[in-house]
Structure formats: structure tokens, C-alpha cells
Structure 1
């Protein structure tokens, strides 16, 4: 079990492969396991790194840690890359990990060789943020009624990842992911919802970047279409084209091999 001390926290991480470094940042559940199958596909050409975010899964909750911020989350990612002597790296951030990556390129651009930001939930810029908020509240209430915070976490994950995404996680790993509900709902969710960089900040990003969305979310009738809209908004603010990747919101779980092959040329271009 590999761990590293970063910014007052001990972070569990996984590293495999050889070649230019690629760091993957998870959103909800904050677990390194979400990237395992995709990383194994790419490890023949890249050094693939993922980690359990602070206080999640195998990264113990720091003493007296009662709140977090996107600055803290990005500082952890930067500290991990520096501590492992892998900076600068290409960084792939999905969902909440994409929000962290957005903060990372703004505050620690020197550790990022290139950024791939996939469907960051900047909900307030979607076409109907109130509807998304109502859906989140309903899922939380229904999940809590079934089985408390673990039930609420499972309901939210199922909505974001789809049935196929949740089914792709082994049962013993799934239990570990759902146990992160206390950290997510108690410490992380508010910080992620409140964070939104200004257009001027985003327009000033100099790091090579790709903003991506899942092809399955393009249609307005898709359950997670707001994720596609949020990526469209971010791509416009960062003055870059939107790239479509296979699958929906969690292609690293539902389409790991296909996603890896779609990413391979993008990673090659960013690591030249």
C-alpha cells in the first residue's frame, strides 16, 4: 500500500506503467479504484497515477479536518505530483475531479503539462440548475430514507454513473465507495457547488487544455445532459473546442478500454 504525506494529509495512491506521467483525479467517492481498468490499458505507454482524495477510502481523515475547499483539493493534487517527482504531468479530471483540475490549472499551472477536464459539475451554468438541484435533493432524501448516508451516496452515484457504471464496481469496492458519504455530504458537496471561477480567470489559463463531454450526454433528453452543457460552457470560457469522449459521465467505468484508446492520441499530443 503506497502512501505519501501531503499538506497535513496522508494520501493513498496507485502508480503503474512507464512513460510520461498522467494523473487521474476522481470526483464523487474520491477513490483511486475508479481508474484501474482504464489505467491498465494505458500503462504500456504512460505512467498512470490515481489516488484516494483526502479523507476518502484508504486516505485517512486528518485529525480536526472539518471542512475543505477547492484550493485544498488542488493543493493535494499538486503536492502529490511534486512529492512523487512527476511534475509536470498531464492531468485527467472527471466530474468533481474536473472541478479540482480547473482550480489546479489556475493556481498550480507549473505542475500541469496538459489538462483534460471531463464534465465538471458547474451546475449553476446549466440551462436549468434548479431542476438539477431538485433532483439532487430528491435522490438524497430517498437514499437517506432507505439506508442513511450510504443509501444517499448510492442514489447519487447511480444517477451520475448510471446502472452500468455502478455495476462495473466490484461489490467489496462498492461498499468502500459508499462509506465515503459522510465526507462527501458533510465536507465536500458544499465546497464543490459553491466554486465557480470567473470568465476572466478561465480565459487566462495558459496550460494546454481539452474540455470533454460524454457523447451519450449530448442529447437534451439524456439524464445527465446538464454535464454536457457545463462542459460546453467551460470550453467556451477557456477558448477551446469541446471534445466528445465515448460513453456518458463515467466512461472510465462503463467504457474503460474504448476510453483509453480515445485518450491515447490526446495524451500523446499533450506530452510531446
Structure 2
């Protein structure tokens, strides 16, 4: 696998000035702020590195905070010879990106879709990851309790059924709206967001068909999670719907250590309260 070299080009340093790095044949945009131990932020679905614009200045006061747009996300052109969109591809890119840092193992912060890729990378290459803070990982391969599986299946159908329908009709912006309303747990959630947040999601609407038709993610079991050689904290909202809460609680049971239940929060906590999210991240990584 070709590694990345974070020499980059295209703009000055700083969280608001994206640069570019070659990672496994893809030109990925990234931003960074601060110095010291690297802390790499990975966004979830229909998003890109801009999600973390409010977070990097906070974490960058103490560390080298970095965020990049994963392959297929962002506004750049897609490569015709790229591997398929999916967790394994994004995990492989993360490994190459971390190797390219040249600064020792990094703390990794992930939200939702990105969580399974981080766990995949941590199992295969623990030498690259100093710790992982994951808010509500999105793949339920380690959920085995029948009651939880039933609740999860019912809620996934309720949330994603309309999303699939919109994608099948080619209504990608509507699919984004439905996904954000479902994640925020109320109708009108997306419409109530600031224009710049909506723009990030809509810029990534083109990934929706790929997200919903991706290859099966790598199978990770509870035994695998228990064998992780790096410190991992799973965070989840107290009020998160079963689609996210069931998976998060199952992961937390499998992974040794302390985990975080965020009072009054849902899946959208990292965006809704950037300061509290960063404070939790900093408490975790600075205790490792």
C-alpha cells in the first residue's frame, strides 16, 4: 500500500486553509492547526473536513489537530480507478494517512460512519494509533443480543427506508434532508441548521448512492473489540435512537475501559456542542 506524505500543497497552514495530500492514489483535502501530538479527526456521512472547523482551533491550542476529507467526500473530482466506496477503503486510507504524518502514533477522533474504519485500522495497525475516541460507531457487526437486534432492525427500517426511497428516485438532496432529520430525531432538523452546515451536507449529497450500496464492511466481533491494543472510548448520547444507541452500547460492553454517555444528547452531539465534544476528547486523550 502506498503511504501518504503530509508535505501537502495548495495553501498556507491553518484550519481554514485546506491543503492536499496524495493518499493511495487519491488527492485528499486536509486542514490542521496547532503543534505537538497529532489528533486526527474523521467525519461521518455526507460531510467532509469542514465539519471540524469549530473543533480544530480548540484542540489545536494543545495539540496538532488535523482533519481530512475522506475519499469520495468533499467537492473534489473522483478518480476513475479508485477502489470502491466503503469502510475498508477508508480504513486503508486512514492507515496511509497516519503513516504519512511522520510524527509517531496519533490520537484519532471519529464520528458515526468513520468509527468502524477506525476500529478496523486499530485492529490491523495498533502501532499507528495512540488512542481512539469514537462517537456512535455505525456498523452493528458486534451486536448479538436478540432484543437489541430486533430494536435495531425496526429503527433502521424506520429511519433509512425513506432515505433509500429518495435515493432510488434520484432525489439526493431529499435523501440528505431525511438522513439529517432522522439523525437529529425530529422533522425539520436539517432545515433548522445554519446555511454553512447545510452546504457541507448538500455538497456531499452525491455520496448517498455509494453509502447505501457499499460493500459489506469488515466483520468485527465483540472478541475482536476486546482484543484491541489501543485505548478506545465509545461515546453516545443518552437520547440517541436505537440505530445509533444499540450499536454504541454493544461496542462499549465489548471494549475494556470507561466510556461516555452524554446526558441529553443524540447522534448530533459533536455538531450541536463543539466545545463540550472537544472537552471530552481532550480529557480522554490527555489521560492516555
Work out whether the TM-score is over 0.5.
Answer: yes
**Alignment partner of 1:76 is 2:93:** yes
Q: Name the stretch that deviates more: 101-110 or 241-250.
A: 241-250
**Alignment partner of 1:209 is 2:209:** no
* Whole-angstrom distance in 1 between the partners of 2:83 and 2:107: 31
TM-score (norm 2): 0.81
* Whole-angstrom distance in 2 between the partners of 1:107 and 1:59: 29
Residue 259 of structure 1 deviates from its aligned partner by 1.7
* Whole-angstrom distance in 1 between the partners of 2:216 and 2:193: 26
SS at match of 1:240: coil
* Whole-angstrom distance in 1 between the partners of 2:236 and 2:206: 28
- 1:221 is matched with which residue? none
Q: 2:31 aligns with which of 14, 26, 29?
A: 14
TM-score (norm 1): 0.85
Query: Is the contact made by 2:50 and 2:200 (CA closer than 8 Å) also made in structure 1?
Result: no
Residue 199 of structure 1 deviates from its aligned partner by 2.6
Q: 1:134 aligns with which of 134, 152, 157?
A: 157
Runs of 5+ in structure 2 lacking a partner? 1-17
- 2:13 is matched with which residue? none
Q: 2:201 aligns with which of 177, 191, 201?
A: 177
- 2:51 is matched with which residue? 34
CA-to-aligned-CA distance 1:168-199 (integer Å, 9 cap, x gap): 8642552342232332322x334476443123
Query: Is the contact made by 2:72 and 2:85 (CA closer than 8 Å) also made in structure 1?
Result: no
1:154 to 1:144, Cα distance in 2 relative to 1, 3 A: farther
Q: Name the stretch that deviates more: 74-83 or 166-175.
A: 166-175
**Alignment partner of 1:43 is 2:67:** no
- 2:252 is matched with which residue? 235
SS at match of 1:239: coil
* Whole-angstrom distance in 1 between the partners of 2:238 and 2:167: 28
SS at match of 1:234: helix
Residue 24 of structure 1 deviates from its aligned partner by 0.9
Residue 167 of structure 1 deviates from its aligned partner by 6.2
Q: Name the stretch that deviates more: 59-68 or 73-82.
A: 59-68
Q: 1:67 aligns with which of 64, 84, 100?
A: 84
Q: Name the stretch that deviates more: 31-40 or 3-12.
A: 31-40
* Whole-angstrom distance in 1 between the partners of 2:232 and 2:44: 19
1:133 to 1:194, Cα distance in 2 relative to 1, 3 A: farther
1:254 to 1:143, Cα distance in 2 relative to 1, 3 A: farther
**Alignment partner of 1:150 is 2:173:** yes
- 1:265 is matched with which residue? 283
Q: Name the stretch that deviates more: 193-202 or 150-159.
A: 193-202
- Higher share in helix: 1
SS at match of 1:13: strand
Residue 166 of structure 1 deviates from its aligned partner by 4.2
1:169 to 1:40, Cα distance in 2 relative to 1, 3 A: farther
Superposed CA RMSD = 2.6
* Whole-angstrom distance in 2 between the partners of 1:93 and 1:111: 15
- 1:104 is matched with which residue? 121
